[in-house]
Amino acid sequence: MSRLEAKKPSLFISEPLTTVSQPLSLLIAILKSCYGPAGRLKQLHNGVGGYVCLTSQSSAILGHLSVSHPVLKVLTASVQNHVSRFSDCGLFTAILCCSLIENFKNLNIASCTIIKISKHLLSLCTDYLKSKACGCQVSVDFSNLETLLCLVRSILTSKPACMLNKTEVDCLAVLIVKAFMYTVPCHPETKPVLGKCVTVPLKGKRVLDSTVIPGLLIETPEIQFAKPFSVKRTSSDAVKVVVFCVSMSGDLFDPEEGTVTVHHKISLEMSELDQLLNVGKQLVNDEVGLVVCQKVIHPSLKQYLKDNHIIAVDRAGLSVMEPLSQVTGSKPIASIYSLSPSCYGSLKDVRAESFASKHFVHLIPNDTTVCSLILCNRNETTWDELKRACETAEHVLQLTLKEPLALLGGGCTETHLASYLRQKTCCLSTSSSKDVECSPTQYQLITDAFCHSLESVACSLSHDGGEILTDMAYGHCWLVPSGFPSASNWSDLLSKCGCGINSSTKDLNWRHLQPLFGSSPIESCPKEPSGKVTDFMTLDCFAAKYNGLQVAVETANLILDLSCVIEDQN
Amino acid sequence: MAFRAVNSRRHIGLQQLSSLAWAGRTLLGPMKACKFVVDESTDESMLICSAVRLMESLDLTSAAGQLLNETIQAQSKEFKTGMSTLLFLVGAWSNAILECLQQNVPVSAIVSVMSEGLDSCCEKVQCLQVSVHDVNKELCSSSVRPSASESKASQIPCGSSLNRQIYLCFQKDISASEELVPRNSYFPQEADCNFNKGLVWPLASFGSVASLVRSVDDGSTSVISGSGVSASICKQKKLTHSRYFSPGAKSHVSSHLGDSQVYLSGQSAYTCECYGLGHLAMALSHGSQPSMKLLQSIVAYQHERAECSGSSQFSIAEIATCCLPGLPESYSCVCPGFVTLVSPEQATVIKHFQDKSLWIVLMDGDLTEQYRHLGFTKPRNVKTILEYPSLQEGGSRTSWLSNMLDILISLEVNLVLVKGNVCENLMERCIANNILVISSVTQNVLSAFGEVTGAQPVTYLTQLNASCLGSGVRVELWKGCDERAMELGQLVPVRIKVQGISLLTAVLTTAVASKMCLIEDQFWTFVYRLHHALRDGKVFLGGGAVEFLCLSHSQMLAEQCLKLAGKKAVKEFRSPQLAAFSSEYKAVVLQALATGWSQYLSVVMYNTAKTASEFEARTLIDHHLQKAADCGSPSAYVLKEFRRGSMFRGCSIPFTDNEEGVKVYDNVTAKMEAWRRALDLVLLVLQTDAEIIIGPRRSQLLNSRSSSEFMFL
């Protein structure tokens, strides 16, 4: 008997921004404390002794957070959307967006004016970032690996929960770039698609035991193959492969509704197994050498295949299915009744290999854009964090291949943009404020709030109370090591700026980044950096940061524009 | 969702770690004080002496406790040894870091200095590694001629002259790599390093460089050849490249096979009857007699078996254990074949077998009607109808039983080894038909029988055909050293053997039933220690020698930092004020690192009753530290002391001629990994500033005592 319940009326909340201050400041505190290589970690757990996720990455934190305030829901949703598309710069986007909301809220200016002007400021930023004259942009040369390694190293070092030392970071950066190189096709004219890098988990081992192997590794529970390992080949010396994505465990189709009535002498299981064995017979006739099944193969079928010298690998898992068809050129078969020879693929060789205590079948194709990254870290928690970091790095390399640019990291892009905006609006303010119909003071205030938000992202890099400075020449960001007393002569304390491109000289004219409201803009446009791209620079992904900036400003504008929230309570 | 901030000065996570680790203090060292764990709900008690078992019985609901448990489990899974070291150092370093926080040292400084300090210590102690070959040669010779041990011992460094040559060959490559990736940028190198390089250093460096050469060969790395050097350093140090452990072409295979089998070839002339490993096993077990005797006979058996194949090997997969509580410990022994406990009814079947050669079936699942292979979903919504009900067929249950029995009888199977459970009724029917069915057999036992009898494991009995059967198996009642069969409680130990089987069962006995678990744990620990020593190809000088050098090294680094703090003009910083500041921090943190080693040593000395109190131990250590410093080169001092055998010896073993105590050795990788894991855990918890509790428990948290600590989003 079903029971109908009366619908609850919807909840109307007006002016949602008035109640957001307290949870917003808590969210900012969480996000800011995670930012950067010295960021603090968060223990995410259920409080009753379940799995503990130790992380400082936005993807993990925002994925687990359940916020109740509607404004924060909008905010986290848009940041998560950014992360799902770009993997990197999630914390940057979130912190910038939160600071923009906070700073704009404090201005007491009509939100439509703020929105107009911040859109204008955003376009100034994006135009500048895309322009050739941009002082915080570095072009990535794919013939020189150093920039790529810098990009990857910056991502790895900004994730302290991976617990990597310098040697391990260098080693992994090389592996990740190597893995990426394997996925780039040799002849892009014929097939301009990037391949896949499959991460093979090896938890409990040292990070330095990680390796990259071309081809695909599929884990098998134990060595179940005949010794010595040999594979049946076709006349053309290739190995014929068939891939099933349907379960071959011999269980019945699920009829969802209704019942099947069977005579007691008929065994559905047996008839299902007979069908499977028929498939096996056809595979033997077709000279197939390797059968891979995403799910489980019935032990009887396995035994039959083994007796006929066919290697059967089951429980391959969903994650290898796409690379599997890339490697073998076979089409995954979704029903055991639709077996056609056109679905077969081929491989150059198949081998059995073991790494540490795990056993694998190694599929070696003729020409491949698929590789396997055997990723090791000492325990489960740190491994999970490392895997997230490696996936981010791989994605960033792919984005960089599309748009071979990088931005200076270590807070330098943010402070540089802020000083560019300050300088630019200083000379434009009277004319621009007329364009957007507001007073020059309002325009100035909003610009200040905008720049301050950018700078507060850079400020989040310091966690132990170390001071953050910016210089008047390049507009870069400089971190004073924490615990040191304020010195009159900054050049004694500083050696390199955040991204590592500028070295300190006496004439840089530093000032504190923190209390910048109303500070005077620099006279000229911030200069391009003096140094050249060096080996150990901090670089950020251009595409991710560029998009993150847009997402942050647009989300902040959207949230400022909210006048009421109607919540469906059913 | 709730959020709880962690107070940074009194870091609650570190406090939790330190209090959890405190419980494991007595488990440190070769003389462990056991703990009684009493389960209040069942009144059962158990004697434990390993950190893993301790973790199992502690309340670990806090996040830090969970992480600690995870770390210890990971170490246990990987090495089976070093867990109490790990647990102890977690506690010691947590306390030391809490002190640092009290002194306002910034977290980032603690993290970087601690981890670089540990890296530096790990490099430093490489000079205390000895190759397994040298250890064996020395231990065996000293057992043959105890009086000559002194002169033989001095040959350890000489044994590596070949290594030195190799080292010279590759020195160019190494120095090139060191330019790019300075291993130890933080700390100035000590002057006496050169002294040690001849000893074991070359082995390790050779391995890493060799892998560089190979990785260039395969062509795939040409893309990144510019940075190939840094890659080579990161590669695993494959010690199979040492001439002692791998005959050229085999190296690749064995390193991949690596985990279950370790080869030790090239040693044909044994100087004593220990076959090259027995004494090593003794030195690694730190003087625990009963387990060591078992281990020595395993080594002897495996050696005898492998002699025809020309190499001596030690294989963990070929060892099983059978625990017989209730028998005195003198009954412990090693039997070829598989020893297990069966019910008296099953034992009657064995009497029927007498000395017949039997047919065997191996099953890798359960032997029940309901059992289906993994991944099989039972169909729902299927109705079976019976058109003509007949009284003869008593349902499907009996028909399954008789089907299975028919299969077994028609194939004349005598013995079934099952990985999982066995249906009770089937078991009874089998006994009635003189078929012995044994349940809960581990995978490695199944594989061993499969290998030697030719039996193919099956999942269902319906899969059986003649080719799946194995033959030549004999079953008998297990007889102790007094040649009597016995019954323990309601169970009878039986022995299943096949001519030529590689499997050995260590029969572990104890008159005190609650000690059973402890004895089994200990046995496996020693087995794995030997295994890892052979896989590493080298061992550390034991008895605290390594920790002592770490202590002296980290203290020396701390002193150097203090000196720098006093001096002016340091390269790194332009301002003397800044240099002084950073060096002071560094000194404090390095001292915290040293505290860990110092506490470790003093607790070990106290636990082994070498000193009457921890305080006395600390005085003794300080005394030795002073002497080491006076000597100029701490590593040389440690080597000398170890050879003299006063400071770094295990406890003396009764019934041996050697009164001064045996030389003890430790595993290299397991030990260093335990250090690194301990420090990583402490630093991870240190860097945590908040707990985020997820899940729909808001109201529960609001009502809890500590609700004021939480903030809600």
In this model, does residue B199 exceed pLDDT 70? Answer: no
- Residue found by looking up tokens 């397994």 in the block: B132
Q: What is the mean pLDDT of residues A370-379?
A: 93
* Cβ atoms of residues B533 and B132 within 8 Å: yes
The span from the CA of B372 to the CA of A543, in Å, is: 51
Same domain, residue pair A363 and A414? no
CB contacts, 8 Å: A26 with chain B: 3, 711, 713
* Chain-centre distance for alpha carbon B256: 19
Q: Please indicate, yes or no, whether residues A124 and A245 belong to a single structural domain of this protein.
A: no
Judgement on whether residues A29 and A101 belong to the same structural domain of the protein: yes
- Minimal Cβ distance to A463: which of B108, B234, B381: B108
One domain, residues A414 and A558: yes
- CA dist B304 and A388 (Å) reads 50
* Residues in CB range of B221: below 8 A, 6 or more apart: A178, B215, B228, B231
**Interface mutation target, options B83, B373, B385, B702, chain A, most CBs of A under 10 Å:** B373
* Residue A335 Cα, gap to closest chain B Cα (Å): 16
Q: Is residue A487 assigned to a domain?
A: yes
Give per-residue pLDDT as tens, B294-343. 888 888 888 777 776 555 578 888 899 999 988 888 889 999 999 999 99
**pLDDT value for B708:** 62
B85-115 core/surface letters (b: 16 or more CB in 10 A; e: else): bbbbbbbbbbbbbbebbeeebbbbbbbbbbb
Higher pLDDT, B564 or B327: B327
Residue A389 neighbours by CB distance under 10 Å: 24
pLDDT digits (tens, 9 = 90+) for B494-503: 999 998 888 9
Distance from the Cα of A381 to chain B's closest Cα (Å) equals 8
The pLDDT, as a whole number, for residue B203 is 30
**Chain B residues inside the 8 Å CB shell of A203:** 74
* Same domain (yes/no): A428, A299: no
Single out the residue of A76, A194, A161, A541 nearest to residue A387, CA to CA: A161
Torsion (CA) A125, A131, A132, A137 in degrees, nearest 10: 40
Tell me how far apart the alpha carbons of residues A370 and A372 are, in angstroms, rounded to a whole number: 7
User: pLDDT over 90 for what percent of chain A?
Assistant: 49
B415-418/B436-438 β-pairing: parallel
Tokens 């990788």 belong to residue? B669
Confidence of residue A19 (pLDDT cuts 50, 70, 90): confident
Q: Which residues have CB under 8 Å from A55's CB, separation 6+?
A: A41, A42, A44, A61, A161, A385, A388
Contact B462/A at CB under 8 A: yes
Residues of chain B contacting residue A76, judged by C-beta atoms under 8 Å apart: none
Confidence of residue B170 (pLDDT cuts 50, 70, 90): very low
Residue B195 has pLDDT above 50, yes or no: no
CB A421 within 8 A of CB A447: yes
Closest-CA distance of chain A to residue B232, Å: 8
Contact between B283 and B665 under an 8 Å Cβ cutoff? The reply is: yes
| Res. A221 pLDDT band, cuts 50 70 90 | confident
- Whether A348 and A465 map to the same domain: the answer is no
> What would the pLDDT profile of A531-566 be if each residue is shown by its tens digit?
566 667 899 999 999 999 999 999 999 999 988 888
- Residue of chain B whose alpha carbon sits nearest to that of A256: B381
Q: In terms of Cα–Cα distance, which of A226, A243, A353 is closest to A297? A: A243
Q: SS in 3 state form for A402-446?
A: HCCEEEECCCHHHHHHHHHHHHHHHHHHHHHHHHCCCCHHHHHHH
pLDDT of residue B429: 92
Contact assignment for B106 to A61 by CB distance below 8 Å: no
Optimal mutation site among B687, B699, B712, interface A, most CBs of chain A within 10 A: B687
Which pLDDT score, from 0 to 100, does residue A201 have? 92
Interface contact B680-A67, CB threshold 8 A: no
Handedness of CA B607, B611, B612, B614 (dihedral sign): negative
Q: Specify the number of domains making up chain A.
A: 2
The residue among B688, B682, B666 whose CA lies nearest residue B592 is B682
Q: Is the pLDDT of residue B116 over 60?
A: yes
Give B75-95 pLDDT, tens digit per residue: 999 999 999 999 999 999 999
Of A49, A298, A481, the CB nearest to B373: A298
Pairing relationship of beta strands A510-512 and A468-471 according to DSSP bridges: antiparallel
Which residues of A fall within a CB distance of 8 Å from B8? none
Left if phi > 0, otherwise alpha if psi is -120 to 50, otherwise beta: which for A227? beta
SS3 A470: strand
Query: Is position A153 within any domain?
Result: no
Q: State whether residue B60 sits within 8 Å of chain A by CB.
A: yes
Please give the DSSP secondary-structure letter assigned to residue A515: S
Domain assignment present for residue A1? The answer is no
Domain boundary among A313, A334, A367: A367
Both A335 and A222 in a single domain? yes
Ordered by where they begin, the domains of chain B are 2-123+544-699 (1.10.560.10), 131-313 (no CATH), 338-374+394-502 (3.50.7.10)
Give contacts of B 564-623 with A, CB under 8 A: 572-575, 577-578, 581-582, 585
| R_g (Cα) of chain B, nearest Å | 30
Q: Is residue A381 part of a domain?
A: no
Residue A36 lies in a domain: yes
Write down the pTM of the prediction. 0.84
Give the C-alpha separation, B252 to B234, whole Å.
Answer: 18
Find out whether A193 and A431 touch, Cβ atoms under 8 Å: no
pLDDT per position as a tens digit, B592-629: 999 999 999 999 888 887 888 889 999 999 999 998 88
Does residue A475 share a domain with residue A342?
Answer: no
**Residue A115 resides in a domain:** yes
Q: What's the N-to-C CA distance of chain B in angstroms?
A: 6
By the 8 A CB rule, do B592 and B99 touch?
Answer: yes
**Residue where a domain stops, chosen among A367, A400, A426:** A367
Beta-bridge mates of residue A12: A566
Q: Which of B62, B59, B67 is nearest to B4 (CA)?
A: B62
DSSP H helices in A21-110: 21-34, 58-64, 70-86, 90-105
CB contact under 8 A, A27 and B713: yes
A428 and A339 together in one domain: no
Residue A383 predicted with pLDDT over 50: yes
Smallest CA–CA separation between B372 and chain A, in Å?
10
Residue A361 near residue A218, CB atoms below 8 Å = yes
CA–CA separation, B289 and A138 (whole Å): 67
Say if CB B242 and CB B210 are below 8 A apart.
no
Q: H-helix or E-strand containing A394?
A: helix A380-402
Nearest beta carbon to residue B379 from set A72, A251, A481: A251
**For residues B415 and B422, is the Cβ–Cβ distance under 8 A?**
no
- Whether residue A522 has pLDDT greater than 70: no
Residue A46's pLDDT band, with cuts at 50, 70 and 90, is: confident
Q: Is residue A357 part of a domain?
A: yes
**Residues A450 and A562 placed together within one structural domain of the fold:** yes
Q: Residue B473 in contact with residue B357, Cβ under 8 Å? A: yes
Give B463's Cβ-side CA count (13 Å radius).
27
* Nearest partner of A375 among A220, A212, A216, judged by Cα: A212
Residue in B523, B231, B384, B298 with CA at minimum distance from that of residue A260: B384
The per-residue pLDDT for range B333-387, each reduced to its tens digit, is 999 999 999 999 998 898 888 788 999 999 999 999 889 888 887 777 777 776 6
Contact B376 A61 (CB under 8 A): no
Identify the H or E element spanning A87: none
Residue of A nearest to B257 (CA): A354
Contact flag B61-A51 (C-beta cutoff 8 Å):
no
In angstroms, rounded to a whole number, what is the distance separating the alpha carbons of residues A177 and A183?
10
Inter-CA distances, A479 with A420, A464, A472, A484, B250, Å:
20, 11, 15, 11, 53
| Residues A415 and A563 placed together within one structural domain of the fold | yes
Q: Is residue A429 very low, low, confident or very high in pLDDT (cuts 50, 70, 90)? A: low
A186 part of a folded domain = no
Domain span at A345: 216-256+266-367
In B, minimum Cα distance to A48 occurs at: B61
Inter-chain touch A42–B688, beta carbons under 8 Å? yes
Among all residues of chain B, which has the CA nearest to that of A297?
B375
Q: How far apart are the CA of B386 and the nearest CA of chain A, in angstroms?
A: 6
Q: Which residue of B has its CA nearest to A61?
A: B692
Is the domain of A440 the same as that of A557?
yes
Encode pLDDT of B204-253 as tens digits. 333 333 333 333 333 333 333 333 333 333 333 333 333 333 333 333 33
Q: What is the CATH number of the domain that holds A279?
A: 3.50.7.10
Which phi and psi (to 5°) does residue A441 adopt? -65, -45
Cα distance between residue A520 and residue A508, in whole Å: 16
Complex confidence, ipTM: 0.91
Kindly state the DSSP code that residue B376 receives in the 8-state scheme: P
- For residue A437, the domain's CATH number is 1.10.560.10
Q: How far apart are CA A533 and CA A248, in angstroms?
A: 55
Interface-testing mutation among B443, B688, B693, with chain A (most A C-beta atoms within 10 A): B688
B307 and B542 Cβ atoms separated by less than 8 Å: no
Q: Which of A177, A255, A268 sits opposite B224 (nearest CB)?
A: A177
Average pLDDT over all residues of chain B: 75
Alpha carbons B610 and B651: distance in angstroms, whole number: 8
| Residues B450/B477, Cβ–Cβ less than 8 Å | no
Identify the domain boundary among A314, A337, A367: A367
